[in-house]
Structure formats: C-alpha cells, structure tokens
Amino acid sequence: MAYLLDIITARLFVSVFEEGSIAAAARRESIAASAISKRISELEQRLGQVLLRRHAGGVELTVAGAAVLRRARNMLNEAGQLEAELRLLGTGVTGLVRIAAGETMLMSPLPDMLGSFLRSNPGIRVELDERHHADVLRAVQDRAADIGALPGEAIPQGLWARPWSRDQILAVVRPDHALAGYPGVTMDEMLDHEIIGQDRRGALGALLARQAAALGRSLRTRVSADGYDVVCRLAQQGLGIGIVAESSASLFAPAMGLVTLPVLDSWARRQHRLCVLDPAKLSPAAKLLLDTLLQEAPASA
C-alpha cells in the first residue's frame, strides 16, 4: 500500500513553503526544481487536491496545502526525535537516573541543568527525590539513589564526592524588624531575637543548632517549620527571623516584602557536593549525568 505522504516529499514540501518558491527550495535541497515540482504534482494527484498555487512571485498555499504542511512538519519532527533516540540506543545511553537531594539543591541551578540535559538526551529519565540530608546519604548508601546532592559537611569520609555549588545563608525579616537596617548579621546577633525553628533532620536546621551551641546559647523559637517557603511566610507574619538559603530567598522574599540580610559568619557560605557510592558502578545514563553536572558546575563552586 502506497502512503499518501512520504518523508522525502514532506521535507521538500516544507522547504518550498519556507523558501517561498520551488526554485529556492531546489537550491536549499540541492535537487532539480523539476524533481520537486514532479513530487508535489504527484502528491496533488494522489490527494485529489491542489496544494500550491504557482504564480510569478512564487507559490501560495491552499487550504488543503496548509493541512498537508502541518502533517509534513509533524512527520519531520517525529523523524528527528526517532533519529535522536536511535542514536542514543546505539551508544547505550538510556535509562533511569535517581537523584536524592535536599531542598536547597532543588532550589539551585540543578533543575535548569536537568532541563538542558534531558532535552539533549531523550533516552534518559530522571527521578528527583527531596529528602533530609541524612536520608539523602542513606539513599545513596542503600542504592536507592544513584546520585546524592547535599552540603559537604554532611558527607562522611569514604563516600565518593565532588564539589558542585556554593550557597549563602541569609536572614529574612520584616522591614520593621530591629535588624532590618543592618548590612548583615551574625549568629550571635540573631540569637538575641526570636528565630523561626527548622527541622533538625535538615542540613540547615542541624547547622543552626550546632552554631548556637558553639556560642553557648540556644535558639529562641516560638514556631518551627519545614520548608523555606513556609519559613519566609512566618517571617512575613513577624514571628521571628527566617534563616534560609539565598536561592530560596530570591524566590520568596521579594514577593513577601521581606528584607534579606547576609549571615556574616564563615559557616554561612556552604559548599554543596554531589556524591555516589561508586562511580565505576554507575549506569551509563547516571555516569553521563554525573559527568555533565560536574563539568557544568556553577561558577561559584
């Protein structure tokens, strides 16, 4: 059974439309104009419809021609996707990659980089699993995740890890807060005020508790929350100082009218790392993603 529209005729038909004439399409496709004209005429005969009106200035689509153009473009797009997938199948770069990460990493450039990676590698799928830092490590160690992303201080020795990005910890407060006019704040200064508590299973919650203890003090908290967006909303209500990663503050603070203040202590500039159990045992898809993330690490890393 002969199909009404084949891929070569589809490509030539699209070229004629985009170039505006059969002669220009022939130059683009490096083929004789008569060959293109013959293919289109044969297509019109099979369909029983006039697709192009030829005139001195070039060609003009008919209503039927516009319908064929849509289908022809769809065919070329599908053929292109098939070619890309088959190319990946030929190299073995297909499969699922599981990434476990904390909230900070999911607010970082990671989603944007995944978007670019997945568009370039249609044979690969990615599952992102948000977890507290201890659970990220457990997922990697138990092989429930191929790649972990979390603050460097949370990664034990012996686990393969590489630096990936840095972030700055910020305090967010209402404009009428006593600290709002400061150029930056220290932990010691913040401990004189109410602080919105965070789940200590999370990397930042555990870090804040450690830094307060190092100063011989404790956090003054009236309310606690899990999630940087909720911390910012509570700060907006005047319930304390919110302490969040810069990537999250940039998303939530402006819309809520909050003032952001850099935390000036050295621990507030955190190094994040990517970790795996054994890079030599990663699947081709996971290895490709890991290599890509490390090669394209943010400049601040």
Query: Under a CB-based contact definition with an 8 Å cutoff, are residues 293 and 97 in contact?
Result: no
69: domain CATH number is 1.10.10.10
Query: Under a CB-based contact definition with an 8 Å cutoff, are residues 145 and 277 in contact?
Result: no
**Whether the predicted pLDDT of 273 surpasses 80:** yes
Residue 262: pLDDT band with limits 50, 70, 90:
very high
Looking at the fold, whether 122 and 202 belong to one and the same domain comes out as: no
Mean pLDDT of the chain: 88
**Whether the predicted pLDDT of 261 surpasses 70:** yes
| pLDDT of res. 81 | 79
Q: Strands (DSSP E) along the chain, which ranges?
A: 52-55, 58-61, 95-101, 124-130, 147-151, 160-173, 197-198, 224-225, 242-245, 259-262, 269-276
| pLDDT of res. 130 | 86
| pLDDT of res. 298 | 72
**Whether the predicted pLDDT of 137 surpasses 70:** yes
Q: Pick from 138, 128, 134: which is nearest to 151 by CA?
A: 134
Residue 220: pLDDT band with limits 50, 70, 90:
very high
Helical pair 7-19 and 33-47, crossing angle rounded to 10 deg: 110
240: domain CATH number is 3.40.190.10
Looking at the fold, whether 220 and 275 belong to one and the same domain comes out as: no
How many other C-beta atoms are found inside a 10 Å radius of the C-beta of residue 255? 9
Range of weakest confidence among 23-37, 44-58, 97-111? 97-111
The DSSP letter of residue 195 is B
Mean pLDDT, rounded, for 183-209:
89
Mean pLDDT, rounded, for 105-128:
86
| pLDDT of res. 1 | 33
In angstroms, rounded to a whole number, what is the distance separating the alpha carbons of residues 37 and 32? 9
Q: Is residue 301 part of a domain?
A: no
| pLDDT of res. 98 | 95
| pLDDT of res. 110 | 85
Give the residue from 75, 91, 107 where a domain finishes.
91
Higher pLDDT, 266 or 158: 266
Looking at the fold, whether 258 and 244 belong to one and the same domain comes out as: yes
Q: What letter represents residue 95's amino acid? A: G
Mean pLDDT, rounded, for 166-186:
95
Looking at the fold, whether 35 and 78 belong to one and the same domain comes out as: yes
Domain count, the chain: 3
| pLDDT of res. 153 | 67
Residue 240: pLDDT band with limits 50, 70, 90:
very high
| pLDDT of res. 159 | 85
The DSSP letter of residue 241 is B
| pLDDT of res. 299 | 56
Range of the domain at 157: 95-164+271-295
| pLDDT of res. 297 | 79
Mean pLDDT, rounded, for 6-30:
93
| pLDDT of res. 173 | 97
CA dihedral 167, 171, 173, 175 (to 10 degrees): -80
Indicate yes or no: pTM above 0.85. no
β-strand partners of 197: 224
Q: Which long-range contacts (CB under 8 A, 24 or more apart) does 286-290 make?
A: 286/95, 286/97, 286/146, 286/147, 288/93, 288/121, 288/124, 289/97, 289/117, 289/124, 289/126, 289/147, 290/147
Looking at the fold, whether 26 and 155 belong to one and the same domain comes out as: no
Q: Which two tokens stand for residue 273?
A: 């790392």
Looking at the fold, whether 249 and 198 belong to one and the same domain comes out as: yes
**Whether the predicted pLDDT of 61 surpasses 50:** yes
